[in-house]
A and B are shown apart, each in its own frame.
Chain A
Amino acid sequence: MPSQVTHELLLICTCLCSCLSLRSTPHQLCRVQSQGCKASICILISQNSNRIVTVVEIYIFAKQAQPRILTCTYIHFFHRQEIMKWNGWGYSDSKFLYNKKGQAEFTGKRYRLSGMIIPGLREWMESTFSANLQHKTPAAPILNSSAVQPPTLNEAFLKELKSTGIPFSHDAEDRVFRSHGHCLHEIFALREGKIGRVPDLVVWPNCHNDVVKIVELACKHNVCLIPYGGGTSVSSALECPPEETRSIVSLDTSQMNRILWIDEKNLTAHVEAGIVGQDLERLLNESGYCTGHEPDSMEFSSLGGWVATRASGMKKNIYGNIEDLVVHIKMVTPRGVIEKSCQGPRMSTGPDVHHFIMGSEGTLGVVTEVTMKIRPMPEYQKYGSVVFPNFEMGVACLREVARQRCAPASIRLMDNEQFKFGHALKPQVSSIFTSFLDGLKKFYITKFKGFDPNRLCVATLLFEGDREKVLQHEKQVYDIAAKFGGLAAGEDNGQRGYMLTFVIAYLRDLGMDYYVIGESFETSMPWDRVLDICRNVKARIVRECKDKGVQFPPLSTCRVTQTYDAGACVYFYFAFNYRGLILFCSREEILANGGSLSHHHGVGKLRKEWMRESISSVGMGMLKSVKDYVDPNNIFGNRNLL
């Protein structure tokens, strides 16, 4: 169909949409088919910039000058997979690849790195992993629906569900898409085309009441429900328990994505739990506010997901973690709806029931609405970076910053390996060196005399607030850094560091194309153990790889991502050429050294076996009895946590 017609059609659709009282204008034409004079068009109606929310299929009579609508089916295929990868991270259009010239490139238009050549990446990858670009293991390109088990449907449930008008689907792609999070093993299996137990049905409630109905029906017909937010879980929380024999229904919250009200007097906003981080921020920004909650996954993860996993955002030093941000929560459980009767800023009414909900990981019910604190948008933002002669000095500096309680919005410390990696990701423009390592050496040796490029490490900083205060704050932090041998290394390096956090997740897919697999995990620990844990866990990874016969030494690196009064949060990354059983051992090492089971990713099923050890048998019993009371029939049967 000629483009002119397409354009016209879009216009028509706009009218149509207002007739259908949809909240938004059509965003993209997704499919146009014509047969004779009849045509069907399929429009994505997206409330927000890059998220498919609704698809409307319209049959029109296209021959005439004024196309006439024949039928209009409101079909609810919420094919996130049309803009997002079904077997990798993020948007389909954004990925790392090696182009014909063998140079690394990041595709798409969404990120600052998009469309750029990254000359150092190849050398870094080859030298770090001894990876050979000749040896490729491409992922299965499309989902083979026949590999997906046919759904086990609970007919009675389905029948009543239909009568409620709440959209649902048992299409294989929809089900597979909601069957996993982003753990290495989950993505690895998808790439290999291996598909295990997936939900039998997906439902899209549009509001709190829809959820109430669904939960009631689920209880009535003994159906297992798994809430699904943004799908960014990294704890196997979304995996369907293979032993589950009941029909499993994935409850996709993506349609519950409105800000219901903003209260400027109290600086709170009441928001539906399915809203995704970037949308929440953008919409609030339009009114001059923000929540300041920015987990690295904020492009895709949802408010309900944050509450359910006790998420932590990069700028928690100013805004707090999710538990600090939440004022009120509404959750639908098999026993009914739980919420507090007022929105007081703090209460002493026995143990805080919010704390049963936060971190419940979808085992107790569905979070539907949340009142959150909001803040006026900051007047001024400034990035920064500091280079330290070694990691030990860096940690000592962060500790001092925490002691003086003057941490900027974000302060992160990368170890040497990660610092090098960051350099490998420099796009072409800024690199005049022939070889990545040479460049690194030249740059740092000339700039930071006496620093060993194989030991130095970098902290990235983000300051926020009013201009004056930011500048003052900045000076204070740089002064402390200087006491620990830290030298200011510029705003650019800092900004690039933060920008990279969004694209790093994409890199794993590139690695997997070349037999390199990687994973990250986090923990929290008291200050006095930071160095020991970093050293021991990295050494353990190296050792396990060796013991398990991994031919080349792995990349094993870490970064301190948050500071607290009494400790810090550390992220570990490892990657190596070929497979192994490293995660288990790493966690064992963390726990043995006094680190926590998780700082913010949660327990899911991945870390369940350590729960008892972590919170004691009595603690387990407490959680268990809550579960038994709230959900005696295990309707929320994702089997996380306990």
Chain B
Amino acid sequence: MASKAVYSHRDPMLKKRDDFEDMLEERRNSSDLRYALKCYTPVLYKGLTPCKVSELKQMVLQSDQLGYVITQVSKEKGVTSDEVTGEAAAILEEMAQRLQLSTVRFFAFTLSKVFKTLFRSICINEEGLQRLQQAIHNHPVVLLPSHRSYMDFLLMSYILYTYDLALPVIAAGMDFMGMKVVGEMLRMSGAFFIRRSFGGDKLYWAVFSEYVKIMLKNGYAPVEFFLEGTRSRTAKSLTPKLGLLNIVMDPFLKGEVFDISLVPVSISYERTLEEALYARELLGVPKPKESTSGLFKARKILSEDYGSIHVYFGQPVSVRSLAESRVNRSQFNLIPRHIPTRPSEEILSFVNDSAYRLVRAQEENMVLKPWVLLAFVLLQKQAAEEKQGTALDELTEQAVWLRDLSRQYGAFLHWPDHIPPSEVVSSSLSLHRGLVRISEGRVQLALEQVGGQQVPGETRGAITPEEELLNKAVVILSCASYRNQALNVFIRPALLASAIHTAASNRKQEIYNSFSFLRNMFSNEFILCPGATVQDFEEACYLLVKTGTLQINQQEVLITERGHRTLAFLTSVLDPFLQGYQVVCRFLCEQDGLTEKQFIPAVRKFIIKHLLTGRLRYTEVLSSDLQKNALAALIRLGAVQKIKGGEEQGTLKLNKVMLNSLEDTLGGKLPTQKSVVAHL
């Protein structure tokens, strides 16, 4: 437990961050064509033996690793190894990138044009790029950008090209391949394509992992992929996927390279291109297939002001130092390294922890705009059913209060301090005018007018209450996606605030128990590193004590006079999620027999009913993301069991006693240590 509370956390306020430069500024002042044709001579890896795309493929096909699997597969399937090799070659053909400078130059030219019309500025921390250059020179590099938009990887390559840095090869999902021309273009700008699922396909896995490793080990190019696996539709970071991280760490763990640098990159959009698209997706309006024409349409619709982008290249993280005194590398000594082996528990947990660390590093350097804070206020007001909206100066006051709070918690907030707050607020509102309505000096979310405008193709005629609700929900979820950008700043204090709120007494031990319960419950929802409960608790305590919200002594946690406002705010941050998870529990309690496939549509219907009857306040609970996370958490906790294989494949087996108890505990009706889950 947190008995030996060491409040030695580095003060987040003192976090040092680099300054930004706007890279579009030069584009606006000089020729794009000349820029696209500029001399490009990046610094390369010092151990690089240059090789061509075709040689790369040869190396993969001739590698011992692949050879081993080919023999294995040919024995298993009873076909000749030549056939399997042919299959492997075909997989590789489908997968491989064909990076060529001319395509990159083409993109550099067109993207310059596009970016200049869409964005006010693209701000980069140039010091981060210098660090990256150094890293590329010294060790193989893995670039790990956050993933919020289709733009991300084009943007990354664009930046690297502009700053004369080595162009990366990028792991991309196969869905792009649907767009013929674009797919090939992307391939030629360094993308390589991976099937979304290839579960048991040994051969595919072998080709894929060997391909990535060879590019990485030889320093052919920095390898770029998205730790989150896919674009986050909610703007919250997603639980990291470990497959690729495992692959890129392997050469270090097996001693094939001295070290590998992992570089987290945080890309923050002031306005996301896919804003409404995501909201609709989360609400179950099926997402348009990622086809070329779709993308172009999207661009046409979106030809308006998207504010600025901030890209922060974080401190390179050395895999060697991550592994130091954590991983016993000699475990790889007894099996030839080309024989594929399942990573040990030790390695898996190491990779997992590293992944969380990296995602947190991404989160920490995400730039937050004032609008993000406004979204907090507006959503809370909306949920409180303040129909007439919020007065502008009240909104400003609250935003300024939040500004100060979030800064104390270490948020990377870009609030222009030289401009009067009221102006900051009004310019933020005007950039997001699609989401808010201002009338008579009062601001509220633009819930009513949305209908016909934002959801084209919807059937005309009378709008049902359900449709109306969904239309509202689009705006609310869009708005929530901005609020979500800052959730990571508040999540630990918010968990603590809620724990204080639900705990029966102010005894520290009891609060810790509640905290631990909530944290465990929400660890699919937020980036909370497994096994770090004590650290998180201490971090939250530290922040709340430092900001004068709490006083904590040996035994007790006391709320200060001025602490109430902060605590109220913090509890309200977590409240939609608390309520949401309760509804999901309630829903499941009322089911008999349900398959995983049926879950989302059914729970959605259930929630709509609750919302329409006013039993549930938070429209955002309609987000399928929340619902999925809740289900995953319940499965993890054992309240729901997913049946694998057999007749009942995919059926959810429900432990209703536990679900009931979880619901009550979340609602604060049961003390955590008494509930079924306390000893989970």
- B-binding residues in A (CB < 8 A): 528-529, 532-533, 535-536, 539-540, 591-594, 613
Q: How many residues of B contact A (CB 8 A)?
A: 13
The secondary structure that dominates the B interface is loop
Q: Which residues of B (248-283) have their CB < 8 Å from a CB of A?
A: 255-259
Nearest CB in chain A: distance from B286 CB, A:
50
Say whether A593 contacts B255, CB under 8 Å. yes
Say whether B258 contacts A535, CB under 8 Å. yes
Contacts of B613 in A (CB 8 A): none
Say whether B330 contacts A592, CB under 8 Å. yes
Say whether B256 contacts A532, CB under 8 Å. yes
Say whether B329 contacts A528, CB under 8 Å. no
Nearest CB in chain A: distance from B332 CB, A:
7
Say whether A592 contacts B329, CB under 8 Å. yes
Say whether B330 contacts A533, CB under 8 Å. no
Q: Chain A: which residue is nearest B331 at the CB level?
A: A592
Interface centre among B255, B256, B257, B336 (most CB of A within 10 A): B255
Nearest CB in chain A: distance from B336 CB, A:
7
Nearest CB in chain B: distance from A248 CB, A:
35
Contacts of A613 in B (CB 8 A): 330
Inter-chain CA distance A41–B146, complex, in Å, is 87
Interface centre among A528, A533, A536, A592 (most CB of B within 10 A): A592
Inter-chain CA distance A528–B333, complex, in Å, is 11
Interchain CB contact (< 8 A) of A536 among B258, B332, B333: B258
Task: Name 16 A/B residue pairs within 8 A (Cβ), A-sorted.
Answer: A528-B336, A528-B337, A528-B338, A529-B255, A535-B258, A536-B255, A536-B258, A539-B258, A591-B330, A592-B255, A592-B329, A592-B330, A593-B329, A594-B255, A594-B333, A613-B330
Q: Convert B536-564 into 0s and 1s, putting 1 for each residue whose CB lies closer than 8 angstroms to a CB of A.
A: 00000000000000000000000000000
The secondary structure that dominates the A interface is helix
Nearest CB in chain A: distance from B77 CB, A:
28
Q: Convert B294-337 into 0s and 1s, putting 1 for each residue whose CB lies closer than 8 angstroms to a CB of A.
A: 00000000000000000000000000000000001110110011
Inter-chain CA distance A593–B259, complex, in Å, is 13
Say whether A532 contacts B255, CB under 8 Å. yes
Contacts of B259 in A (CB 8 A): 539
Q: Chain A: which residue is nearest B251 at the CB level?
A: A532
- Lowest 3 A-B CB distances belong to which pairs? A592-B329, A593-B255, A594-B333
Interface centre among A528, A529, A591 (most CB of B within 10 A): A529
Inter-chain CA distance A506–B258, complex, in Å, is 32
Inter-chain CA distance A613–B333, complex, in Å, is 12
Contacts of B332 in A (CB 8 A): 594
Inter-chain CA distance A594–B330, complex, in Å, is 6
Q: Convert B378-396 into 0s and 1s, putting 1 for each residue whose CB lies closer than 8 angstroms to a CB of A.
A: 0000000000000000000
Interface centre among B330, B336, B338 (most CB of A within 10 A): B330
Inter-chain CA distance A82–B258, complex, in Å, is 47
Contacts of A539 in B (CB 8 A): 258-259
Interface centre among B256, B258, B329, B332 (most CB of A within 10 A): B258
Inter-chain CA distance A535–B255, complex, in Å, is 9
Contacts of B336 in A (CB 8 A): 528
Inter-chain CA distance A529–B338, complex, in Å, is 11
Q: Chain A: which residue is nearest B47 at the CB level?
A: A535
Q: Chain B: which residue is nearest A537 at the CB level?
A: B258
Say whether B255 contacts A533, CB under 8 Å. yes
Inter-chain CA distance A320–B258, complex, in Å, is 34
Q: Chain A: which residue is nearest B252 at the CB level?
A: A536
Contacts of A532 in B (CB 8 A): 255-256
Given contacts A532-B256, A594-B255, A594-B330, 7 further A-B contacts (CB under 8 A): A528-B337, A529-B255, A532-B255, A536-B258, A540-B258, A593-B333, A613-B330
Contacts of A535 in B (CB 8 A): 258
Nearest CB in chain A: distance from B259 CB, A:
8
Contacts of B328 in A (CB 8 A): 592
Nearest CB in chain B: distance from A233 CB, A:
26
Nearest CB in chain A: distance from B326 CB, A:
12
Contacts of B255 in A (CB 8 A): 529, 532-533, 536, 592-594
Inter-chain CA distance A532–B333, complex, in Å, is 13
Q: Chain A: which residue is nearest B323 at the CB level?
A: A592
Q: Chain A: which residue is nearest B338 at the CB level?
A: A528
Q: Which residues of B (335-352) have their CB < 8 Å from a CB of A?
A: 336-338
